[in-house]
Amino acid sequence: HSKKLLDTAYIDILTGLYNRNKFLDDIADLTAQAQFNGTKLGLLLIDIDNMKIINDYNGHTAGDEVLKKSAEILKRFSKNIIKAYRFGGDEFLLAIKNCSSMDSITNVCDTVFESFNSEQIKFSGGIAVYPDDSEEPEDLLRFTDIAMRRAKKDGKNRITNFKPEMQRVFIQKLNMQAKMSAALLNSDFYLVYQPQFDIKTGDLRGFEALMRWHDKELGDIGPAIFIPLAEETGMILEIGDWVLNTAFCTLKNWQQKYSFKGIMSINISPMQLKQPNFIENIRNLLIKYNLNPDAVEIEITEGIMIENMNEAIEKLNSLKNIGLRISLDDFGTGYSSLSYLQVLPLNTLKIDKSFITGITEKNGIQANITNSIITMVTKMGLQTIAEGVEKNEQLQILKEFNCHIVQGFLRGKPMPEQNCAAYLGGKKSALISLETEKS
């Protein structure tokens, strides 16, 4: 009777494979055996590719079927020298015992990979080897994970062997993550605000909040470097919350002190929007700072469409219904599918700097494309913002094209809060721009 209880604690119900607990129990024996026999122990961590898409598009039953089928394949291998475990989620682990050489481990892995492929299940795998990579079970597990993540990063559907330099990169990332956590606590992050102007009237339309990071050791680190890192490590959620709070707080401040009537544009990462409580967060922030939602513009990129398009559209609709403005950033880079313009509830389209830079004469190719985009989306009722305008000629051409708003170094650079406050308070010389720098 007690044996049965023990079994269920060690068995994964869905697949019937041993579970992670069983592995954690086995690993000491496995390494001891390898040491005794003078053999190697290979650990292959398997993570099914695109499981989220399978679940989202085909339902969880389909997802379960993939997991069961994967387990069946692994059971075929589970003999004396190979032991298979389900680690939870879409992760499996294969322990390959008694290997005399690295080649024999590689051979087994290749065969497993082929078997999955012939059943049309794709996975990414990471291999770590006892005692070559480490003698410590915890290290070995961590290393399989690092190698597996590398396999994913290199394009999925492959098996990658752990290499020490992967750990160095990993540790660097951990350090950066620790640094970013510390930066949040120490207020080493701050926001700058870049003004946006109506092209026809020259009136201030609002500001875009942009992150800055000054580290005592590393100096200034640009958002193009730390935002992707923060996205990779998940830190972007905390950082994004800080940005929202800070920008909302600043906006309220400007409204109270300077009767600021403009818009605050805030960049949002796809991961942030994916949070289940994102909408609620925004709602709470609006209450906390007592702000009208139409003073806030959320800037998104088409990156939000990659994983779950319907969910993204639904969330954006909720934000729009609350009354926030939605802006599509960086239009002209990536895929820039015109169909996004139809399905996304947008107020504003930001034409990417790469387009604007190419506008050198009124009838150039870039100029023609920009002109068409502006005409088209204006008909759709959207406002257009030209990003990265540095030259007066560009501005004049954009004006002829009836582009609404200009944002760029020519008219205004991203500025510290004090400059914006002074400017809003009437001190026009507080504005920093290529124009003001010249004079």
Q: Which residues bind Ca ion (CB under 5 A)?
A: 267, 299, 329-330, 387
Taking the complex as a whole, how short is the minimal distance between the CB of residue 210 and ligand C2E, in angstroms?
4
Chosen from ligand C2E, Ca ion, none, partner binding at 417 (C-beta under 5 to 8 Å by type): none
Residues that bind ligand C2E (CB under 6 A): 194, 210-211, 222-224, 227, 243, 267, 269, 329-330, 353, 388-390, 408-409, 414
Q: Which is nearer to ligand C2E, 315 or 353 (CB)?
A: 353
Measured distance CA(116)–CA(73) in Å, rounded: 7
Chosen from ligand C2E, Ca ion, none, partner binding at 388 (C-beta under 5 to 8 Å by type): ligand C2E
Q: Which is nearer to ligand C2E, 118 or 439 (CB)?
A: 439
Q: Which is nearer to ligand C2E, 49 or 329 (CB)?
A: 329
Sign of the Cα pseudo-torsion (304, 305, 309, 315, in order): positive
Q: Which is nearer to Ca ion, 89 or 334 (CB)?
A: 334
Chosen from Ca ion, ligand C2E, none, partner binding at 224 (C-beta under 5 to 8 Å by type): ligand C2E
Query: 204-215 and 189-198: which strand pairing?
Result: antiparallel
Measured distance CA(312)–CA(361) in Å, rounded: 38
Residues in the chain, overall count:
439
Of the candidates 92, 3, 114, which has an alpha carbon nearest to the alpha carbon of residue 45? Answer: 92
Chosen from Ca ion, ligand C2E, none, partner binding at 42 (C-beta under 5 to 8 Å by type): none
Taking the complex as a whole, how short is the minimal distance between the CB of residue 259 and ligand C2E, in angstroms?
26
Cβ-contact 37, 30 below 8 angstroms? no
Q: Which is nearer to ligand C2E, 44 or 346 (CB)?
A: 346
Q: Return the amino acid letter for 76.
A: R
Taking the complex as a whole, how short is the minimal distance between the CB of residue 389 and ligand C2E, in angstroms?
6
Taking the complex as a whole, how short is the minimal distance between the CB of residue 277 and Ca ion, in angstroms?
23
Helices (H) and strands (E) in the chain, counts: 17, 15
Chosen from ligand C2E, Ca ion, none, partner binding at 222 (C-beta under 5 to 8 Å by type): ligand C2E
Cβ-contact 234, 269 below 8 angstroms? no
Half-sphere exposure of 282 (CA within 13 A, CB side): 25
> At which residue do the structure tokens 């500025």 appear?
415
